[in-house]
Structures are given as C-alpha cells and as structure tokens.
Chains A and B, each alone.
Chain A
Amino acid sequence: MQIVPKLNTLPQETSPEELWLGLKSGDKHAFEQLYRKYVKVLFQLGTSITGDAEFVEDCIQELFIDLWKYKNSIKPTDNVRLYLFRSLSNRINKEKKKAFKGNEKQRQAAANFPSRLESVEVKIVNAQREEAVQKKLASILKKLPIRQNEVIQYLFFENLSYEETSKLMGINLRSVYTLAWKALSTLRKSIISVGAYLITLPLW
C-alpha cells in the first residue's frame, strides 16, 4: 500500500465548492481533499442509517470511484455536503432494495464498530436529559425502517430544512412530513415505557 500524504493538514482552506470545480477539471488533489473532508460525516450518516460499517465503507468507496469516473458529467453544486449525502442515500437505498430484506440480519451482525451516543444539539444550560431515555431512543431509531430513520437523521441531526430533505430524498414535502411523523410516533411511544419504568422504580 502506498503512503498517501495527508492533504487535510495543509494550512490553506479551500472551499468545498472550489474543490468540486477542481474535481470536475480532473484535479486529483482536490478530489483527495474532498474525500478526506467528507469521509467521516458520510460514514457517520451511513452507519446511523444502516448500522453496517462494512457495507457503508463499500458504498463510500464506490461513491468516490463513480465521482471520479463521471467527473466530466457531474453537475456544479452550491452544496457539496448535500450532493454527497444524496449520492450516499441513493446508493444505500438501491443496494438495500437489492439485498431484499436481508438488512435486519446484516444490521445486527455488523453492530460492533466503535460508536458513541450523540443527542440532538441543545443550546440551553439546563436541559435535564435522561440517559435511559437517550439510550432507548437511539436503539429504537436504529430499528426503524431505513427511510424513516433517514428522515430523522436529516431533520434532527444534520439540521436540514424540510425542503433540503425533500430534495435529498427525492420525495415531496408531504411525504417527508408523513415519514417523519411515523418515525416520531414509534419513537415517542417507546419513551412512555421508559417513563413507566422510571416511575415504578422508586416504589421498590
């Protein structure tokens, strides 16, 4: 394996949109910088949606190879992050459809990669978070159907607007809302059971 210089440590910061133009014109360094800039967030998003690290790594690799292959015909974009999210989402959904319901098995089989719990960003001092509820919600989120899981990732964790989410997932606004509503419905029902557990605990 050849040793690759780390370009992300270079002092000057080129904007993603400029790197994108670089890629279009066949600049390998720009391409590598794009990869290094986005591989972590793509991995996070992919594993959050599918829970399968190896599958996501394959998808990311193929995504970037395709980007290079079709660099002459990729469209200019003013939001590289959204473009890459969209490509990854398409790829995951396509592959998963092919894999035909095998996802449940795969998800459980490949759950052992390092991960940490991340909650929705709160900008108030005293949020009174409950660890049991956080864990419960994260585990339920993981078990939701992929599209429902996806919509929660975009709206609540990636802080995209409804419009951006609709464009990213390629469905209309009403579908985004309905999907999110269903996902939240499952999620909030799970809280009630945690709540009951917490209340009964002091009685012991």
Chain B
Amino acid sequence: MSKTEYTVEDFMLDPEFKKWVLAPDEETRAYWEVFLEKHPEKYENMKLARRALINLSRNLGEISESRIEGIWAEIDTFINEPEEEQAERRTVSISSESTLRRFADRQTRTGYKASHQFYRVAGILVFAFSLGILCNFLLEYPEEEFVEVPLVYEEHSVPPGVKSTLRLQDGSRVILNSGSTLRYVKNFEADKRELFLIGEAFFEVAKDSLRPFVVKTGPVSTKALGTSFNITAYNDEPLDVALLTGKVNVALGFEKSQEIILKPGEGLNVSIGEQAHSKHQIEEEKVLAWTRKTILFEQTPIWEAIRVLENWYGVQIEVLNRPERGVLLSGKFVDQTLEGVLEGLSYSARFRFKLDEDRVTLKFDMSS
C-alpha cells in the first residue's frame, strides 16, 4: 500500500511514522518533512495519528508484595510435593473470591432437590427456551467478524543414516542431510520465505524477488533471492555457508550485528561461540559431495569425520587411544559401506576398528 492512501490507523501502524513521533532522529524527520510537503492533503490524518499515538495509554495494574509472596507460597508448596502427588493434585485457586464462588456453586448444587417431576419438566423447558434466545442473540452479534489466520509450521526431520529431498511449495528444492531438521511456516508468509535449519542442507532457491528466501540458523540468517547454496549448522560446531550460484546476504545477529555478501564460489565460516567469521574459497565437488552419495575427507579433523560418519551411517563411534596431536583424515568414498570407509581410512591413520551393530570402536596404535 502506498503511503498516499494511508488512513490515520495506517500511519499509527507504520513503524517509521511511530519512530518519527515518539523518538525521532534526523533521518525520519527529513523523510516525513519531505512527505508532508509533497502530500499536504495528508496533514489532518498525520496530525490525528500523532495525537492518538502520544496519548495512547493503559491502566497498569500493580501487584502488591504480599500477593507476590502469597502466589509463590502456593507454587512452592506444590513443587515441594513428591512427584506422584503432583500428578493427581488439581491446582487450587488462590483468590478468596474464587473460593467463595466455588462454595456458592456447591451450595446451589446440594440445595437442589429433585422433589417434583413438574419442576424438572418446567426447568428443561425454560432452559431450552433460553438456549434458543441465547443462540439467536449470538448469531445476530458475532463477536468478531474476521478470522484470525493461525501460523502452521511444517517440520521435516531426517534421522542419522537417512537423507531426504524436499520440494517446497514455491518450487525451491532442498536436500536435507542426515541428522538435520528444517522448519518453516506452511506455504510461507505473504512477504517472505523463512526457514529454520539445524544440521546441513543444500538449497536450490526458486526465483521470487518479492519474497526473499531466508534460512535462519541460530543468530545467523542467510538471505537469497534465487540461488543455490549449502549450509552446515550442526549444534556446537562452526557454521558454514557455501554459495554455488547467485548471491546471498548473511546477517550475523551477534552483539555487533554485521552483514556479509557472498559471491559464487565463496564460503563463510562462522564460529558462533567466538562471534568470529572468515571467508574462504569453496570447491563445489567438496561442498556437494554429500548430495552425491560421496564422503570426502581432505585433511579433515577427526572430530568432524566422526560426526560425518555417525550421521551418515547412524552409528555411535568410540575412539580409544586418541592421539594427542589430533589426526587429520583424507579419502574419497563413493556409495561405500561403513566397513569400506573405515578400512580405507585405517591404513593411513593407523587405527584398528571393530563393528558391533550400531557401535563402532576405533583403536589407534599407541606407537603412532
């Protein structure tokens, strides 16, 4: 909607207008001065919107210290009960009024005596009659004529050992790696496509310049219009965004927020704990290996390799005699069994391994 069509309400709801009225800075001041000059017919609406905004008030209730303590005492009694009693006990209302109300309810209930059939029938008739009136009344005056549209989320979770390809409603394609979760508002909202990712996924974004495609991974948001990129964001590991085609904008929501633009062939590594980041050149083969059933290790630290293998095959890996200097692993495995991969790695890294269903033990040679 253009601001020239704004009603008083629209002005009040415009965050920029609100800022200008309540906490102006030079920029907003300049903007609205120019706007007013160009659209003098909006003067009355803006004046009223301003007046309503600065006077907007509410009655703020104050809770007394004694009530704070009273409510806490009730909660405290409850949480100090043994667990099994907690399950059975119903919450007891604390207010004196509700106690009285409950008492009154009970009185009327016990006071009721089914003394006469006549009163029963009469009662039912009166009840039915008043129900009719009530319905009529309700149908005539619906409380709210517009319908609130609820937010419905879709969630896709892929367990370790499995990969999954999704086609989103807007035509974008997502490949989810093992042990990853993707969550988004069903069919997306009108003005953006927002997704929440834990783990790793490759995105091929369908072009839609009106609805930016944003992938949120904790404090980091990656925004794209129409591109393909890969994100690795497993919990407790550095985050990696790799761009293959198009352009993305990565916003780091740290204490000092920052925006970084990636060009094709560039990758961004973010350490969330240290709030640090660095750019690097990516190799497409390496980034997309996982989408092509390929495990690729190139001087990969052992902890990362273990996470990859645990996820890929859905196993738990235990390491014995872990070398203190750390081990870097290299190797390329296309559509291999876990045994094949471990055998390939074991020669150069010098470890022995044992497979026992979903448990794997790696034992490094002490001499190495």
Contact = CB atoms under 8 A, between A and B. Distances in A.
A200 B98 CA distance: 46
A54 interface: yes
A117 B61 CA distance: 9
A63 B93 CA distance: 12
Interface in B250-307: none
Interface stretch (B51-59, B122-130, B202-210): B51-59
B190 interface: yes
A121 interface: yes
Contacts of A123: 22-23
Contact of B57 (A40, A113, A119, A172): A119
Contacts of B146: 175, 178, 182
Interface string A137-163: 110011001010000110111000110
A88 B144 CA distance: 22
Contacts of A156: 53, 56
Interface residues of B, number: 57
Given A54-B97, A145-B144, A188-B48, A129 B79 contact: no
A82 interface: no
Contacts of B189: 172-173
A130 B55 contact: yes
Contacts of B143: 101, 145
A126 B64 CA distance: 33
B9 interface: yes
Nearest to A190: B52
Interface string A104-146: 0000001001111111111110011110011101100110010
B337 interface: no
B63 interface: yes
B22 A4 contact: no
A119 B54 contact: yes
Contacts of B67: 57
A98 interface: no
A35 B75 CA distance: 10
A137 B95 contact: no
Given A60-B71, A188-B8, A135 B57 contact: yes
B59 A4 contact: no
Contacts of A101: 143
Interface residues of A, number: 83
A116 B78 contact: no
Contact of B58 (A46, A114, A153, A177): A153
A48 interface: yes
A74 interface: no
B149 A175 contact: yes
Contact of B144 (A147, A162, A166, A167): A147
Contacts of A119: 54-57
B191 interface: yes
A184 B12 contact: yes
A191 B75 contact: no
Interface string B79-94: 1000000100001011
A146 to B, nearest CB: 10
B73 A4 contact: yes
B19 to A, nearest CB: 10
Interface in A11-69: 28, 31-32, 35-36, 39-40, 43-44, 46-48, 51, 53-58, 60-62, 64-65, 68-69
Contacts of A116: 59-60, 62
A9 to B, nearest CB: 12
Contacts of A2: 73, 76
Given A2-B76, A166-B151, A187-B56, A47 B71 contact: no
A122 B71 contact: no
A65 to B, nearest CB: 5
Contact of A31 (B12, B21, B79): B79
Contact of A138 (B58, B62, B190, B191): B58
Contact of A58 (B58, B94, B191): B94
A182 B150 CA distance: 18
B51 A133 contact: yes
B13 interface: yes
B27 to A, nearest CB: 15
B69 interface: yes
Q: Which of B22, B58, B149 has the most CB of A within 10 A?
A: B58
A24 to B, nearest CB: 14
Contact of B98 (A54, A115, A161, A175): A54
A104 to B, nearest CB: 11
B52 A32 contact: no
B94 A57 contact: yes
A44 B60 contact: yes
A1 interface: yes
B75 A65 contact: yes
Given A123-B22, A171-B151, A172-B150, A133 B55 contact: yes
The 7 closest A-B pairs by CB, nearest first: A47-B61, A54-B95, A123-B23, A43-B63, A133-B55, A138-B57, A134-B57
19 contacts: A4-B76, A35-B75, A36-B68, A48-B58, A48-B60, A57-B63, A57-B95, A58-B93, A68-B75, A113-B61, A119-B54, A123-B23, A129-B54, A129-B55, A138-B57, A155-B13, A167-B151, A172-B151, A175-B147
